[in-house]
A and B are shown apart, each in its own frame.
Chain A
Amino acid sequence: MDLSLLRVELCVAVWIFVLLAADVFLAPAKKEGLSWLALAGIGIALVVSLQPLPIGPAPTGLFALDGVSHYFKPLFLATAAAVILMTQAFRPQMPQHPGPFYVLLFTSVLGALILSSIQDLILLFLGLELLTFSLYIMAAYLKTDGRSVEAGMKYLILGSVSSALLVYGIALLYGAVGDTSFAAIRAFLASGELTLAAQTGILLVLAGLGFKLAAVPFQLWLPDVYEGAPAPVVAFLAVGSKMAGAVALMRLLFLALAPIQPWWSPILASLSVLTLLYGNLGALGQRNLKRLLGYSSIGHAGYLLMGFAVGTLDSARAVAFYLLAYLVSTLAVFLIVCAATDELGGDDLDHYAGLSRRSPGLAAAFFIALLSLAGVPPLAGFVGKLLVLMSAVAADRLWLAGIGAVNVAISLYYYLMVVKRMYVDAPPSPSPVRVPAASLLALGALILLILGIGICQAPFLSRINLALIF
Chain B
Amino acid sequence: MSINAWLLPLILFAPAVGALLLTLIPENRPDLVRRVAVLVTGISLAGALHAIFHYQTAAGGFQYEVLKPWLPQLGIQFHLGVDGIGVVLLLLHALCGFTGVLISYSIKQRVKEYYIFYLTLITGVFGVFMSLDLFCFYFFYEMAVIPMYPLIGIWGSDVKEEGRVKYSKQYATMKLTIYLTLGAVVALVGLLALYQWTGAQTFDIPTLQAMLADEPLSTAQQRWIFPLLFIGFGVIAPMWPFHSWSPMGHAAAPSAVSMLHAGVLMKLGSYAIIRIALPLLPQGAVYWLPWVASIVVMNILYGGFVALAQKDLKLIVGYSSSSHMGYVLLGIACLTPLSLTGAVMLMFGHGIMTALAFAIIGQLYDQTHTRWLPDLGGLAHQIPFIAGCGVIAAMASSGLPGFANFVSELLVFMGGWDKYPVQIVCGALGVVITSVYMLRVVRGTFFGPSKPEFEGHVHDAKTPFEKLPFIILVLALLITGSWPGPMLRLLESSTGPLVERILMNEPNTAPDSIQVHSPAKPGHASASNEHSEMN
Residues in chain A within 8 A of chain B (CB atoms): 356, 360, 371, 376-378, 382, 386, 389-390, 393-394, 398, 401-402, 405-406, 408-409, 412-413, 416, 419-420, 423-424, 457-458, 461-462, 465
Contacts and interface: CB of A to CB of B under 8 A. Distances in A.
A424 B142 CA distance: 21
B189 A402 contact: yes
Interface in B161-188: 170, 174, 177-178, 181-182, 185-186, 188
A424 B143 CA distance: 20
Contacts of A386: 188
A291 B119 CA distance: 34
Interface residues of B, number: 32
Give the 5 A-B residue pairs with the shortest CB-CB distance, closest first.
A405-B185, A409-B182, A393-B192, A409-B181, A377-B139
Given A389-B192, A401-B192, A416-B174, 5 more contacts: A377-B142, A378-B143, A406-B186, A458-B71, A461-B71
A385 B193 CA distance: 15
A462 B69 CA distance: 14
B185 A398 contact: no
B288 interface: no
B73 interface: yes
B106 interface: no
A461 B192 CA distance: 18
B143 A393 contact: no
Contacts of A409: 178, 181-182, 185
A27 B177 CA distance: 55
Contacts of B178: 409, 412-413
A393 B193 contact: yes
Interface string B298-322: 0000000000000000000000000
B154 A462 contact: no
B150 A419 contact: yes
Contacts of B195: 390, 393
Contacts of B391: none
Contacts of A378: 139, 143
B146 interface: yes
B143 A377 contact: yes
B138 interface: yes
Contacts of A398: 189, 193
A378 B13 CA distance: 14
Nearest to B232: A405
Contact of A408 (B74, B140, B143, B185): B185
Contact of A420 (B139, B146, B153): B153
B146 A376 contact: yes
B179 to A, nearest CB: 9
A412 B148 CA distance: 13
B406 interface: no
B153 A424 contact: yes
Given A409-B182, A458-B70, A389 B154 contact: no
B150 A389 contact: no
Chain A interface SS verdict (over half): helix
B149 interface: yes
B196 interface: yes
B515 to A, nearest CB: 38
Contact of A412 (B154, B181, B192): B181
Contacts of B181: 408-409, 412
B185 A406 contact: yes
A405 B74 CA distance: 19
Interface in B47-103: 69-74
9 contacts: A376-B146, A378-B139, A393-B192, A398-B189, A402-B189, A406-B186, A419-B149, A423-B113, A461-B71
Nearest to A464: B73
A144 B355 CA distance: 60
A165 B140 CA distance: 47
A87 B31 CA distance: 42
Contact of A416 (B140, B177, B189): B177
A416 B185 contact: no
A386 B149 CA distance: 22
Contacts of A423: 113, 150, 153-154
A377 B139 CA distance: 6
A462 B143 contact: no
B70 A382 contact: no
B175 to A, nearest CB: 10
B170 A424 contact: yes
A393 B113 CA distance: 39
Nearest to B180: A409
A406 B140 CA distance: 19
A119 B522 CA distance: 63
A412 B185 CA distance: 12
B62 to A, nearest CB: 23
A386 B178 CA distance: 18
A396 B323 CA distance: 38
A386 B203 CA distance: 13
Contacts of A458: 69-73
Interface string B127-147: 000000000001110110010
A457 B189 contact: no
A462 B71 CA distance: 10
Nearest to A383: B71
Interface in B186-235: 186, 188-189, 192-193, 195-196
A402 B188 CA distance: 9
Contacts of B188: 386, 389, 405
Contacts of B74: 390, 461
Contacts of A376: 142-143, 146
Contacts of B154: 423-424
Given A413-B174, A465-B73, A405 B189 contact: yes
A319 to B, nearest CB: 16
Contacts of B182: 406, 409
B192 A371 contact: no
Contacts of B113: 356, 360, 423
A281 to B, nearest CB: 14
A382 B142 contact: yes
A371 B69 CA distance: 26
Nearest to A357: B110
The interface centre, meaning the residue of A393, A401, A462, A465 with most chain B CB atoms within 10 A of its CB, is A393
Contacts of B185: 405-406, 408-409
Contact of B149 (A360, A390, A408, A416): A416
A412 B189 contact: no
Nearest to B138: A377
A371 B146 contact: yes
Contacts of B174: 413, 416, 420
A424 B168 CA distance: 13
A401 B146 CA distance: 22
Contacts of B71: 457-458, 461
A458 B142 CA distance: 20
A221 to B, nearest CB: 30
A72 B5 CA distance: 42
B73 A462 contact: yes
B153 A393 contact: no
B203 to A, nearest CB: 11
Nearest to B152: A424
A371 B150 CA distance: 13
B222 to A, nearest CB: 14
A393 B139 contact: no
